[in-house]
Structure 1
Amino acid sequence: MSAAENACLELAWEALCRGSIPVGAVITDAAGRIVATGRNRMRDAARQPPELTGGLLSHAEVNAIARLDPDAKYQDHQLVTSLEPCPLCLGALAMSTIGAAVFLGADPYGGAAAGPRAATRHTARFPLHVAGPRTDRPGRLAAGLHLAYFLRRNPAGHVVTGYRADRPDLAGAAGALVSAGLFDLAAAGLPWAAVSGQLLSAV
């Protein structure tokens, strides 16, 4: 697992500890250095400008992109995110000029990496290449964290039923995380370094 991928999972963990959906994203430059970070803040109370907080647009990828210089171009940069981007985040990526995106965990409910994207003069100038998911433990953990959040929040909802229908393996990973004490660890506010090994082993 790369440093950028680990940072995404750490941000996802931070989001879960704050009560938000556990998704994290970072942007790296051509040398692989992390130049911007963001996490889901949909249910955060404290504002963190320039990131969006407490609303439907407060997605990890959008918040990472919000930290970029609007006058620069980013074709040689890459966004790394813990979860498959949704249509909103793919649209933000397309408009950001970032050249590539990599995601760890599949999202069979809201993920749109395989779907068609709008073809415009802008996207013709700045094509976006998307790769993922990982099928090993980091990928299963990223998807499992996402689903575990919804298992607790709305166990009979569309996100949970979608995962169970399309990716029962990831539903199993989420269940294993819950059984491993995921929410007790999050409630304790333990740092990612203290829980990462335990959570990776659970999936």
Structure 2
Amino acid sequence: MWKDLTEPWRACLEEMWAAYCAGSIPVGAVVADARGRIVARGRNRSYERGGESHRRQIRPLAHAEIEALDTLDYTHSDPHTCVLYTSTEPCPLCLGALYMSGVREFRYAARDPYAGSANLLGTTPYLRQKPIRVLPPQSPELETVITAVAVEFALRHPEPEGEAPARPAWRKVLPVWGEVIPGGVRLGEAVFATGWLERMRETWAPAAQVIDGLSERARTG
């Protein structure tokens, strides 16, 4: 699978895997210019562990798309000709950020049936003003793989008692995902049960190896 991906998608998935490895929600995003060159990148940092104590830093607004858009250099890049690539369908926060950033196109590799908000475009007078091009998932196999990573993360990091309310309520999310992307949920449950993805993290496996490994598991069951 990896060899068939364009460079922006590869970078996007590298950021997704980096977020997972840092203990945060596995979402990655990049901005590419009109030539397809990556000019900004980001990953979800909402719950990363950092510092000498490796304590979780709760930053509920540090979403991948926000991180990527916030590092875009407007003095050298025309946002109107840029494309935002994100591993997962943007939530309301990230859709709003994209809309106000000047970027006129976004592409996402996996739907988010729970929080995905691409359908908000055109629903208010303001959200009808700008011509935003949206390219939804083009590869069911890639969508399955990305969903599996998110599901495995959710099962490995269940909502602790008393945790900040900004943390996703996974027990509400997973059933919704299962209705729309059942193959991704089943794959995520399977790799959680075997501990395979966690072993990939512990051995510093590159994103390419992880994506190809999950793709193979999706095909073979």
Task: Tell me the percent identity.
Answer: 34
Q: Which has the higher Rg, Structure 1 or Structure 2?
A: 2
Distance 2:195 2:215 in 1: 11
RMSD value over aligned CA atoms? 2.3
Distance 1:171 1:113 in 2: 21
Distance 2:11 2:172 in 1: 29
Residue 69 of structure 1: which of 58, 73, 84 is its match?
73
Which secondary structure state, in structure 2, belongs to the residue aligned with residue 26 of structure 1?
Answer: strand
Distance 2:191 2:137 in 1: 19
Which secondary structure state, in structure 1, belongs to the residue aligned with residue 213 of structure 2?
Answer: helix
Residue 50 of structure 1 is matched in structure 2 by none
CA drift of 1:70 comes to 5.1
Residue 35 of structure 1 is matched in structure 2 by 39
Residue 163 of structure 1: which of 165, 168, 177 is its match?
177
Residue 183 of structure 1 is matched in structure 2 by 198
Q: How do 1:40-189 residues align onto structure 2 when only pairs under 5 Å count? A: 40-46=44-50, 54-69=58-73, 73-116=78-121, 117-120=123-126, 124=129, 126-154=130-158, 157-178=171-192, 179=194, 181-189=196-204
Task: Give the paired residue count.
Answer: 196
Residue 164 of structure 2 is matched in structure 1 by none
Structure 1 outlier segments of 4+, above 6 Å = none
Residue 22 of structure 2: which of 18, 24, 30 is its match?
18
> Residues 123 and 33 (structure 1 numbering): CA distance in 2 closer, same or farther, change over 3 Å?
farther
Alpha carbons 1:42, 1:55 under 8 Å: kept: yes
Which secondary structure state, in structure 2, belongs to the residue aligned with residue 82 of structure 1?
Answer: strand
- TM-score if structure 1 supplies the norm length? 0.86
Which secondary structure state, in structure 2, belongs to the residue aligned with residue 9 of structure 1?
Answer: helix
Alpha carbons 1:94, 1:127 under 8 Å: kept: no
Distance 1:68 1:59 in 2: 15
Distance 2:175 2:110 in 1: 17
CA drift of 1:169 comes to 2.5
CA drift of 1:112 comes to 1.1
User: Per-residue displacement from partner, 1:77-119 (whole Å, max 9, x unpaired)?
Assistant: 1000100111111000000010100000111111112234443
Distance 1:173 1:84 in 2: 19
Task: State the AA in 2 paired with 1:6.
Answer: R
> Residues 147 and 115 (structure 1 numbering): CA distance in 2 closer, same or farther, change over 3 Å?
farther
Distance 2:78 2:7 in 1: 23
Range that drifts further, 90-99 or 109-118:
109-118
Task: State the AA in 1 paired with 2:95.
Answer: L
> Residues 115 and 176 (structure 1 numbering): CA distance in 2 closer, same or farther, change over 3 Å?
farther
> Residues 70 and 45 (structure 1 numbering): CA distance in 2 closer, same or farther, change over 3 Å?
farther
Range that drifts further, 153-162 or 137-146:
153-162
Residue 7 of structure 1 is matched in structure 2 by 11
Task: State the AA in 1 paired with 2:172.
Answer: H
